[in-house]
Structure 1
Amino acid sequence: MLDRTKNVKISVRNLVEFILRSGDLDNTRARSDADSMQAGSRIHRKLQKQMGPNYTAEVPLIITVPVTWDDISFELTVEGRADGVINNNTIRDDFSVLLFEEKDLNPPEIIIDEIKGVYRELSHLSEPIGVHRAQAMCYAYIYATKYDHAKIGIRITYCNIETENLKYFDETFTYEELSIWFEKLTKEYGKWAVWQLKWNEKRTKAIKTLDFPFSYREGQKELVTGVYKTILRKKKLFIEAPTGVGKTISTVFPSVKAMGEGIVEKLFYLTAKTITRTVAEDTFRILQDNGLHLKVVTITAKEKICILDKPDCNPGACPRAKGYFDRVNDAVYDLLTNENDITRELIKDYATKHCVCPFEMCLDVSLWADAIICDYNYVFDPNVYLRRFFMNDKQNDYVFLIDEAHNLVERAREMYSAVLYKDSFLEVKRLIKDKSMKLAKHLDHCNNDLLKLRRDCDEFEVLDNINGFCMHLMGLMAEYEVFLQENVIIEGKDEVLKLYLDIRHFLGMHEIHDDNYTIYTDYDEGDQFRIKLQCMDPSRNLNNCLIRGRSAVLFSATLLPIGYYMEQLGGSKDDYAVYAPSSFLPENRLILIGADVSTKYTRRNEREYKKILGYIKDFTKARTGNYMVFFPSYQMLQTIAELAGDEIEGLVIQSSSMTETERELFLEEFVEEPQISRVGFCVMGGIFSEGIDLKSNRLIGAVIVGTGLPMVCNERELFRGYFDEKNGKGFDYAYLYQGMNKVLQSAGRVIRTKEDRGAILLLDERFTQQQYINLFPREWFPNLCVNQTTMPSTLSEFWERVTGKHKSK
């Protein structure tokens, strides 16, 4: 039976935005409210400080009301924070002009103020936006109920962020009017709340009886326990776990169990690549096959799920955008009440049935899902993150499971950096000059600022202050907003919108930039002048995102050195780190180091390349099977491939721009029990060095050519100087750790399951140096230094020994 004493909580904003939304999807208009949130917060504070003693800012309001739906009654708690409450009993006469129109000589005793900072021209607002008005009405009803007011007013205060001009919309309600309106609103939400109560009870009951679906491997039970305790204690856990120890099930299972105990509200499984998303989906499916009831949704990129060849979300381009918000709630309810494992195909099917956008529908479904599998962007990227979950920076009982966490350092630096190109301003001016002289003038101001900066930049220039440029950008943004509201762009729409979004992001990053940032100008590979806000250390920004949840578990096969990753990924001294033991027998893997070759730039010549080629030929001839050879660059790959000619049997080469189909065909070449060897030439850090899963004897060896160090460039040297000054580890942070991570990932392709046998050859003399040996994982010991003379016999002995125990290898 359903526990009817349950209480459902929802914020005022989420309630009105969910129930009262209507109309079209439309990307042809600037979305002022969402886009101006950060700047709007500043305006909120400024306006609130200007108000007099009769004005109380940030007033918390909460109400619990009984709701009945489908003969089931429960309590609904609606809560939020009113921007301001105006008490006219304490108003000063000299302050009345600021608050009220002269004609309003008898204002209500109490007025609820809802402040919205926008970029749009206020003259275009003839009435308040519906959800803004509804928010104020909710607060007015809660306040009037609490303090017994028969009449109460609302005011929607719109402030243009650039000009700080104000526009007010005032309305007065009787308590009876608000009561009828609020009861209707909460009753409409009742259908959803009752579904959720029923589902949560069913889900919790199933979780309580759920057991771990496999026999525990060595150390796995301790890992599962560690994850559960981390969630219980609201900490972060960093897990360095070799391939094959079952990282995914070891993190998902205890998180699900914590959900069953009411500790966790929602799981976010975050990945960097499609292949790891698939592993997560399979893991949840295994638990569902063992009796788990859980709503799991995977968020697919818009480009991959859109019904158009190229996404264009407006009613003029897509029939599903017209009236989207009028139909989507029915589509979501239909899906939720009929499906658990919410796959990409199911989303597409239900979106077609209800004629809605599959991508936007997927985001709406995520509100009701227990677990969300998605890219890092949806939690961390300031432009893409799921505002519906993280808008107010409030801590919720979310758990973040972050797979392949080593990728997040560089990804985060990109997310929190911003760049603008001078040529973009000139191009957009050319496209719009006949439509808006005002916008063209603002574009000119910014272009002139960049022109001055270019004159002072020979090659690379670090800047101390760009406040003047940013002031001009803010003026441009205000006019840009007006332009996008008033014009339908046809020619050059992509270029016009891209610059708008780039400027918005640039200003957003400038707003939060601190001593973890460096600002510089330089020229890209095409000699285009640009200005960049470079995030040097993303830890503070990442932590600000992670604290929106109760706990985070970050795991990878390559989190070495663990201290570096804990520091860069927002960890603290109070957080935990574990090294999960490998379940593989060390005698089943052979680690060789070819110490008489080098890939240093000063040693890159034909003689050295021929020596590398000789190692590759001898290594792959030792036993018939499938091999991958990883190079530090496409250039070296191509050079050695040309030298090889027809000397390497079964050679296949990764190209620099492979489609998904081409990648699949490439991997299909690596069959079990091949009659002739297959040797794949690939690039370290590329699509085949991470995430691919060639189990059993589909891959028996890997050659790692070089240490994977990034190319020396101005930006890398900037990182080097920054961290030299910060902690004296500039080379390690800028080059060494990133390079060795690529090496470890590439080598990790070989041993995927406990039954695998394989050999790994590291080709570079630097692998014998202590600074590199210190970064070897535990399972890389012991290892052997070889040369071309000794390697064949060493390999022969290894294969004879392991094939005697395991015939397939």
Structure 2
Amino acid sequence: MKYTVAVRTLCEFTAKCGDLDLRFTPSPTAQEGMEGHAAVRSRRGAGYQSEISLCGEYRNLRVRGRADGYDASLRQVEEIKTFRGELDAMPANHRALHWAQAKVYGHLLCEQQGLEEIRIALVYYDIAQRKETAIVEACSAAALEQYFHQRCDLFIDWAEQELAHRAQRDLALEALAFPHVSFRKGQRQLSETVYKAARQDRCLMAQAPTGIGKTVGTLFPLLKAAPRAGLDKIFFLTAKTSGRQLALDALATLAQGRGARPAVRMRVLELTAKEKTCEYPGQACHGEACPLARGFYDRLPAARRAAVDAATLDKTALRKIALLHQVCPYWLGQDLARWCDVIVGDYNYFFDASALLYSLATSSQWRVGVLVDEAHNLLERARAMYSGELNEYDLHALRQSAPAALRKTLGSLARCWRDTWRDQAGAYQAYDEIPFKFQAALLRASSAITDYLAARPQDGDSALQRFHFDILHFLRLAEVFGSHSVFDVSLRAGRAAAGAQPGRAVLCLRNLIPAPFLEPRFAASQAATLFSATLSPWRFYRDTLGLPENTAWVDVESPFEAEQLQVRVVGRISTRYQHRALSLAPIAQLMASQYLAQPGNYLSYFSSFEYLQQVAGEFIRRFPHIPVWEQARSMDEAAKEQFLARFSADGAGIGFAVLGGAFAEGIDLPGRRLIGAFVSTLGLPQINPVNERLRQCMSAAFGERCGYDYTYLYPGIRKVVQAAGRVIRSHADRGVVYLIDDRYAQARVRELLPAWWHVQLA
């Protein structure tokens, strides 16, 4: 069996040395990189070949990749690198890596075409100056073969170790046993469906209620299917830290084995955000500022080997190994993503525009299985990933302290900025396109800032650099702007008729439908399963998330009985905005009557803090003897923990919370800690210009009938079901949920509620 490795991976593994240096380097965007490559190729002769697929073998190693270009008349292979700034400022270890890649491609080409010698050309193309610099070296085929063998010899021990690990891992996964004595009700159905979808290389959407053990119920079958499905990696992606820990705990349980089945040696890696792992906050990421960046690549091989020997690499274990070898924990984790079997991290590691795992999967041609936990959160998270915002206040503040070399450019940008909203009558306006002059001004400003920072890499984490990153993100989104997004301008309140104070306008490229961006992510996975307690109706999520047409769907049987939960619709009360004043006393009376009939802990949900405070005030005035505690705006972690601590098993009272907030999903209050909930809203998003624009976009993309439902109804009911799901957490739980609004009596609303609920009119 041969181990397959990409040319880039081989060279990074064997040729990178020296410091980690992440000082601002004005690298071209992906689009600029492609344009730069195209510009170089356009200058070549008619016989010039581009993107040549190459493959070679040495002992049990297969090396493959694509050479940028080959000129047969010159017998010259070219490795093209685009850049900005001064070529002489490029770090030496970057140059060494480029030469290594070029020479390996040179060897593979000599072998493919039977050449005895070849010219190796490193072609550096300056994006700003549109000028290329070629560094050429003539090499014999024998010398390149020797160089290639040297690279391979440095990697071969690692490759043999990886082959042995993969074989042992797959044998153990074939024999993997379910870690518990039996499946919970519904858990077997979920596991069997995940396994079948993985074997068929299909995407799956699984609606599975709380309490069946979704984490183990999805990880076990995907791991079990991995050997026969040929999966190289499994990515478990979550929206919250708590989801990551559940996955890590489940993987530890699965790896232990059960009965006569042996333990499974899997390499499990937890990826954590840079700001949460940095050992020297405030220090720049380069050898002159951070001791863990100095000589990073020299110490990386030993740290890497220690890490894969440890196998279980959660945040704590990874940090311990990194500090033992004096390397950066965050960047050690980034390297280990190439060598681990299961990677647990946030959604953004696979779905973001610059996602690490997606990039590695595509460049390395991995077969990957993806599990998306609490997948109902992916829609809003993906919209944020593919949206960008520029605040005029930041530009105004920057102009006050900008260096003289940039003042003219920033002043021109400020004038174009004001022109975008000069004729705008309202506080909010959406546009179908980005003004050409404004986009051109952003490009000029970006180019000027790039040149300025390229000459001053020591400036580090400055306000200028942060603003520039915002511009770059905005410009990248502008390159792919389409009907899935809008360009909108929001003006702060108090704008004068004749003009505005500096800092009034916020310009946003707002993504509304992330499907076009997520579609290639799902296409890059062999088996993707999205699971949640609330994924209904499935077509809403399939359409907006860009899932394939042949995506499978399963609504897993609930482990709970209808008798466990009393669901009562209170249709005599309207919670619409215009009726809220009339609703305060009836809601307060209803809550008190239920509490007095059955004292215990309850949660009462409202559509806004304002509504919450109105009902809470009425309730406290009328029933001062009943304990009450309220969610506040912007609660820190300590305040949230204090709020939840009031729900003790022997306690009694009513907590007031906002629907869709911190206490409406992702919290676990089993048994007597929570015996009921009141939901005084249909959960519909507020009708405002942004949401109305979203409705129009949904109607245009999916049909007029879908516009309202996709924008308002489905997201609203999803929040209601999530909140109600806090009440029944186990087979022993009993409770009551009141759905307070006359619209819950409508058939089209009732059919969106969980099938196991027995809904009664109160």
TM-score tier (shorter): over 0.9
Q: What is the alpha-carbon distance in structure 1 between the residues aligned to residue 407 and residue 126 of structure 2?
A: 20
| Structure 2 letter corresponding to 1:256 | L
User: What does 1:433-512 align with in structure 2 at a 5 Å threshold?
Assistant: 433-434=403-404, 437=405, 439-459=406-426, 460-461=428-429, 462-488=431-457, 493-512=461-480
Instruction: Output the CA distance in 2 between the equivalents of 1:633 and 1:281.
Output: 35
**In structure 2, which of residues 628, 645, 651 is the aligned counterpart of residue 651 of structure 1?**
628
Is the deviation greater in 762-771 or in 516-525? 516-525
Q: State the secondary structure of the residue aligned to 1:449.
A: helix
Q: Is the 8 A contact 2:25 2:457 kept in 1?
A: no
Q: 2:528 is paired with a residue of what secondary structure?
A: strand
Which of 763, 768, 775 does residue 740 from structure 2 map onto?
A: 763
Aligned partners of 2:511 and 2:648: how far apart in 1? 43
CA distance in 1, matches of 2:444, 2:625: 62
**Residues 119 and 477 in structure 1, CA contact (< 8 A), matched pair in contact too:** no
Mapped partners of 1:211, 1:647: distance in 2 = 55
Q: 1:661 to 1:324 in 2, by over 3 A?
A: farther
Q: Is the 8 A contact 1:628 1:703 kept in 2?
A: yes
5 Å-filtered alignment, 1:352-391, equals 352-386=323-357, 389-390=360-361
Deviations 1:469-493 (A, max 9, x none): 32332333233222222115659x4
1:733 maps to which residue? Answer: 710
Change (3 A) 1:82 1:735: same
**2-structure distance, mates of 1:524, 1:115:** 47
User: 397, 416, 434: which one pairs with 2:367?
Assistant: 397
Instruction: Kindly indicate whether the alpha-carbon contact (under 8 Å) linking 2:602 and 2:676 is maintained by their aligned counterparts in 1.
Output: yes
Match of 1:106 in 2: none
- Change in Cα spacing, 1:205 to 1:111, as seen in structure 2 (3 Å) is same
User: In structure 2, how many angstroms separate the alpha carbons of the residues matched to 1:44 and 1:481?
Assistant: 20
Structure 1 residues 447-596: aligned runs within 5 Å = 447-459=414-426, 460-461=428-429, 462-488=431-457, 493-523=461-491, 528-596=504-572
Which among 46, 49, 61 is matched to residue 53 of structure 1? 46
- SS at structure 1 position matched to 2:179: coil
Deviation at 1:450? 1.1
Give yes or no for the alignment of 1:671 onto 2:652.
Answer: no
- Offset at 1:721? 1.8
Matches within 5 A, 1:299-378: 299-309=271-281, 312-337=284-309, 339-378=310-349
How has the CA–CA distance of structure 1 residues 310 and 764 changed in structure 2, closer, same or farther, with 3 Å as cutoff?
Answer: farther
Query: Residue deviations 1:688-743, cap 9 Å, x none?
Result: 21222223332221221211222222211111122233311222222222111111
**Alpha-carbon separation, structure 2, partners of 1:249 and 1:376:** 19
Deviation at 1:749, TM superposition (A): 1.1
Question: Aligned partner of 2:11: which letter?
Answer: V
Aligned-partner SS, 1:196: helix
Q: Please name the residue that 2:385 is paired with.
A: 415
Conserved 8 A contact 2:284-2:290: yes
AA aligned opposite 1:403: D
Could you say which residue in structure 1 is the equivalent of 2:580? 604
Q: Which of 5, 9, 13 is matched with 2:4 structurally?
A: 9
Compared CA separation, residues 509 and 154, structure 1 to 2 (3 A):
same
Could you list the runs of 5+ residues in structure 1 that have no partner in the other structure?
1-5, 67-74, 89-108, 787-809
Structure-2 residue corresponding to 1:41: 34
- Cα deviation, residue 121, structure 1: 4.5
Give the structure 2 partner of residue 293 of structure 1: 265
Distance 1:28 1:343 in 2: 28
- CA pair 262-143 structure 1, distance change in 2 beyond 3 A: same
Letter in 1 for 2:374: E
C-alpha offsets along residues 105-152 of structure 1, whole Å, 9 cap, x if unaligned? xxxx41111122223345755987222222111100111122232321
Instruction: Give the TM-score of the pair, scaled to structure 1.
Output: 0.87
The separation in 2 between residues aligned to 1:18 and 1:427, in whole angstroms, is 44
CA distance in 2, matches of 1:294, 1:667: 36
> Is the counterpart of residue 632 in structure 1 residue 607 in structure 2?
yes
Q: In the alignment, does 2:184 pair up with 1:217?
A: yes
Q: Are 2:561 and 2:756, in contact at CA under 8 Å, matched by a contact in 1?
A: no
Letter in 2 for 1:37: A
Go from structure 1 to structure 2 and tell me whether the alpha carbon gap of 1:525 and 1:585 turns closer, same or farther (over 3 Å shift): farther
What is the DSSP-based 3-state SS (H/G/I as helix, E as strand, rest coil) of the residue aligned with 1:199? helix
Which residue identity is paired with 2:667? I
Decide which of 3, 20, 38 is 1:25's aligned counterpart: 20
Q: Which runs of 5+ in 2 are unaligned?
A: 258-262, 495-502
C-alpha separation in 1, matches of 2:675 and 2:26? 53
Residues 111, 152 of structure 1: 8 Å contact kept: yes
Q: 1:641-677: CA deviations, max 9, x gaps? A: 33333726443332322333443343333233x1x31
CA distance in 2, matches of 1:306, 1:744: 38
Partner of 2:235: 268
Residue 500 of structure 2 corresponds to none
Residues 130-149 of structure 1: matches in 2 within 5 Å? 130-149=96-115
CA deviation vs aligned residue, 1:783-808 (integer Å, no higher than 9, x gap): 1121xxxxxxxxxxxxxxxxxxxxxx
Q: What letter is aligned with 1:200? A: R
Offset of 1:619 from its aligned partner? 2.6
Residue 369 of structure 1, CA deviation: 1.0
Letter in 2 for 1:308: Y
Cα distance change of structure 1 residues 125 and 267 upon mapping to structure 2, 3 Å threshold: closer
1:447 match: secondary structure: helix
Q: Which has the higher mean CA deviation after the structures are superposed, 608-617 or 22-31?
A: 22-31
What is the number of equivalent residue pairs in this alignment? 741
Give the counterpart letter for 1:408 in structure 2: L
Structure 1 equivalent of residue 214 of structure 2: 247
1-structure distance, mates of 2:9, 2:106 = 16
1:273-284 pair list within 5 angstroms: 273-284=240-251
What SS does the corresponding residue of 1:129 show, helix, strand or coil?
A: helix
Partners of 1:575 and 1:698 lie apart in 2 by 39
The 8 Å contact of residues 396 and 550 in structure 1, kept in 2 or not, is answered as no
Q: Show the counterpart of 1:176.
A: 142
Alpha-carbon offset, residue 388 of structure 1: 5.0
Over 3 Å counting, the alpha-carbon distance change for 1:485 and 1:333 in structure 2 is same
SS of the equivalent of 2:280 reads: coil
Per-residue deviation at 1:496? 1.5
| CA pair 767-121 structure 1, distance change in 2 beyond 3 A | farther
Q: Do the aligned residues in 1 keep the contact of 2:484 with 2:697 (CA within 8 Å)?
A: no
- Confirm whether residue 110 of structure 1 aligns to residue 110 of structure 2: no
Q: Is the 1:227–1:553 contact (alpha carbons within 8 Å) kept by the matching residues of 2?
A: yes
1:76 and 2:53 equivalent?
no
Post-superposition shift, 1:341? 2.3
Equivalent-residue separation in structure 2 for 1:543 and 1:355 (angstroms) = 40
CA shift in 2, pair 1:540/1:317, >3 Å: same
Give the fraction of aligned pairs with identical amino acids, expressed as a percent: 31
**Is the contact made by 2:198 and 2:229 (CA closer than 8 Å) also made in structure 1?**
no
Could you tell me whether the CA contact under 8 Å between 1:296 and 1:371 is conserved in 2? yes
**Alpha carbons of structure 1 residues 170 and 522: separation in structure 2 relative to 1, 3 Å:** same
Of 174, 195, 206 in structure 2, the residue corresponding to residue 208 of structure 1 is 174
Contact 2:121 2:134 in 1 (8 A): yes
Aligned pair 1:86/2:79, yes or no?
no
Partner of 1:797: none
